[in-house]
Chain A
């Protein structure tokens, strides 16, 4: 137990380290001395733009990436335990495709008619609200079905069908939209941690903290759920109650991250496995904080890799995450070929 807590502490340090690294390095090269000066509140008289980059871009981005990683990974862990399926992830329920659809409606149907230069604050807010509405609509649908679809497999199939339907609607919208609309939508779809500006950070972090708290409160029933519904029920756990709370928590985490950052692939699926490999436990009291920290660390690492080439431009995050996520998932599948899913 003690050793596992040590690993958690080390993971916490790793998150802090990568956070600092993300502030020090970026697409614009700023000397270390100036970064420290700006962080200390002294500013940078010669380069006022540097101060702006650090305060308005890099720091919010670190917070956004860390929270996004923790949120998606936690939501992946919740789903993997709920379905007892190592290949479950936050997008398996189709919640992020709901958010996707909301965004597509705004960008392709409404935003498509706007000129590219006029993506104003209200435009952004509209996108975020639409994503939330889309995700919450799917969530509500799943909650409605959760009481009828007792079998996790049915829920999985439902998620897949939802994804198909939403992607079909999105394709239709794409077909009818203007070129700019499609362009904007594709950019959003690549994932972006810079969309959360400093003044939106409080709302963003508050919403995600709420979802993470909801997940932490489920630690005990989650352990019991690992044994299967019948065993869990026999241990005094209310399956329906737990499942509904789980859906709510997962829905909130997925909706908020997708709305603010775009669909980030693979993290939610891969991180819980990395945390399990590292901590060698299935006990959620250890595994969940581990997954949150690992998610934050890995996302910060991905974000760092996006900006490393220093070409002045930034690689979309979704170019990096599959490169890290896919091998992990492949490893999991190959290692568990004897286990049933």
Chain B
């Protein structure tokens, strides 16, 4: 794989103002992988995602995309590298699914934001890949949470970025939708050679469906493939909760 689309976190420290949340993170994100960020509430998952998404500056260290530090990039350049799906749900009247997915083309459109036929084709493609094409004419405020989430992923796909960050995309979804969502994201990562990085609380699903895990605790972040982290006991230590047993062979949890 070319170095072009690799994201490196070099001695990264995240936080707000004077307040350090996580320090000295060293890790690499590789294309073609679905990467899940797991960790208890308040440990700093959202802060890390916000820092990666360039919504807030790092307190120390660097994020490099293809060897180039993010702080040297303009917001226009960044908008073509990183797409996001956030927890906030846009509640907009009179906006169709197609309009929403089209917003993903904004970094490429001209001054008035008009779509070319190429843009339209990419919007169609993004809607097909996420299975929301049949909803194209629906108003987004009439969608279910799962449908809306897929539309936002389609928006990120239309943005044509090598990286997509998702903040808890499976929260508030019913179980089948959670599975569908994770499988969809995995497929997109593998087929399109994208870096798909998401935070989640669904430990089991992350263990079974991700290519790589980032386990975040107060002490720091441990990264690696799920099978490896399961074998060396990291996952068991990470879960470490009374009444829950972790089976490293099957990557499942047992309560009892």
Contact = CB atoms under 8 A, between A and B. Distances in A.
Partners in one complex: yes
Interface of A: 84, 86, 219-220, 223-224, 226-228, 230-231, 233-238, 276, 279-283, 285, 336, 339-340
B114 interface: yes
Contacts, number: 81
Given A231-B90, A235-B79, A276-B94, A223 B84 contact: no
A280 B106 contact: no
A141 to B, nearest CB: 26
A202 B115 CA distance: 37
B55 interface: yes
A223 B104 CA distance: 11
A234 B79 contact: yes
A308 B6 CA distance: 71
11 contacts: A86-B93, A219-B113, A226-B95, A227-B92, A233-B55, A234-B79, A234-B82, A236-B78, A238-B75, A285-B114, A339-B141
A234 B53 contact: yes
Contacts of A283: 95, 99
B79 A230 contact: no
B163 to A, nearest CB: 11
Interface string B209-227: 0000000000000000000
Interface in B56-100: 75-76, 78-80, 82-84, 86, 88, 90-95, 99-100
A228 B88 contact: yes
B113 A231 contact: no
A236 B86 contact: no
B130 interface: no
Nearest to A239: B75
Contacts of A281: 94-95, 99
B93 A230 contact: no
A282 B92 contact: yes
A234 B84 contact: yes
Contacts of A219: 112-113
Contact of A224 (B76, B86, B106, B114): B106
Contacts of A228: 86, 88, 90
B159 A235 contact: yes
B186 to A, nearest CB: 22
B170 to A, nearest CB: 19
B107 A280 contact: no
A339 B114 contact: no
A82 to B, nearest CB: 14
A220 B109 contact: yes
B113 A285 contact: yes
A336 B94 CA distance: 12
B94 A339 contact: no
A276 B103 contact: no
A96 B94 CA distance: 29
A269 B75 CA distance: 33
Nearest to B96: A281
B59 to A, nearest CB: 19
B175 interface: no
B90 A226 contact: yes
A231 B107 CA distance: 12
Instruction: Pick the most buried of A219, A227, A339: most chain B CB atoms within 10 A of its CB.
Output: A227
Nearest to B83: A234
Contact of B107 (A84, A236, A279): A236
A250 B94 CA distance: 23
Contacts of A220: 106, 109, 111-113
A187 B103 CA distance: 47
B151 to A, nearest CB: 11
A259 to B, nearest CB: 31
Nearest to A217: B111
B215 to A, nearest CB: 26
Contacts of B91: 84, 339-340
B103 A223 contact: yes
Given A230-B84, A231-B90, A282 B99 contact: yes
A228 B196 CA distance: 22
A285 B109 CA distance: 13
Nearest to B105: A235
A235 B94 contact: no
B103 A224 contact: yes
Given A282-B99, A285-B114, A227 B109 contact: no
A111 to B, nearest CB: 45
Contacts of B113: 219-220, 223, 285
Contacts of A339: 91, 93, 141
A308 B94 CA distance: 36
Given A231-B84, A276-B93, 7 more contacts: A223-B103, A227-B100, A230-B84, A235-B104, A236-B75, A236-B80, A237-B106
Contacts of A236: 75-76, 78-80, 106-107
Nearest to B111: A220
